[in-house]
Chain A
Amino acid sequence: DAGITQSPRHKVTETGTPVTLRCHQTENHRYMYWYRQDPGHGLRLIHYSYGVKDTDKGEVSDGYSVSRSKTEDFLLTLESATSSQTSVYFCAISASVDSPLHFGNGTRLTVT
Chain B
Amino acid sequence: DQQVKQNSPSLSVQEGRISILNCDYTNSMFDYFLWYKKYPAEGPTFLISISSIKDKNEDGRFTVFLNKSAKHLSLHIVPSQPGDSAVYFCAASEAHSGNTPLVFGKGTRLSVIA
Q: Which A residues have a C-beta under 8 Å from some C-beta of B?
A: 1, 4, 31, 33, 35, 40-45, 48, 50, 56, 58, 90, 92, 97-98, 100-106
Q: Which B residues have a C-beta under 8 Å from some C-beta of A?
A: 6, 32, 34, 36, 41-46, 49, 51, 89, 91, 93, 95, 97-107
Contact A97 B43 (CB under 8 A): no
CB distance from A10 to the nearest CB of B (A): 10
Q: Which residues from chain B contact A33 at a C-beta distance below 8 Å? A: 101-102
Contact B101 A45 (CB under 8 A): yes
Q: Which residues from chain B contact A103 at a C-beta distance below 8 Å? A: 36, 43-45
CB distance from A24 to the nearest CB of B (A): 14
CB distance from A73 to the nearest CB of B (A): 18
Residue of B nearest to A6 (CB): B43
Q: Which residues from chain B contact A56 at a C-beta distance below 8 Å? A: 99
Q: In the docked arrangement, what's the CA distance between A43 and B6, Å?
A: 12
Cβ-closest 4 pairs across A and B: A103-B43, A42-B106, A98-B95, A43-B104
Q: Which residues from chain B contact A106 at a C-beta distance below 8 Å? A: 41-43
Q: Which residues from chain B contact A100 at a C-beta distance below 8 Å? A: 34, 46, 49
Q: In the docked arrangement, what's the CA distance between A43 and B32, Å?
A: 17
Q: In the docked arrangement, what's the CA distance between A31 and B93, Å?
A: 14
Q: In the docked arrangement, what's the CA distance between A4 and B95, Å?
A: 23
Q: Which residues from chain A contact B98 at a C-beta distance below 8 Å? A: 97
Contact A42 B51 (CB under 8 A): no
Q: In the docked arrangement, what's the CA distance between A20 and B100, Å?
A: 25
Q: Which residues from chain A contact B32 at a C-beta distance below 8 Å? A: 97-98
Q: In the docked arrangement, what's the CA distance between A92 and B34, Å?
A: 14
Q: Among A4, A42, A45, A102, point to the contact of B46 (Cβ < 8 A).
A: A102
Q: In the docked arrangement, what's the CA distance between A8 and B81, Å?
A: 33
Using A40-B106, A43-B89, A43-B104 as known contacts, say yes or no to A97 and B44 having CB atoms under 8 A apart: no
Q: Which residues from chain A contact B41 at a C-beta distance below 8 Å? A: 105-106
Q: Among A43, A97, A101, A105, point to the contact of B100 (Cβ < 8 A).
A: A97
Q: In the docked arrangement, what's the CA distance between A106 and B42, Å?
A: 7
Q: In the docked arrangement, what's the CA distance between A56 and B91, Å?
A: 19
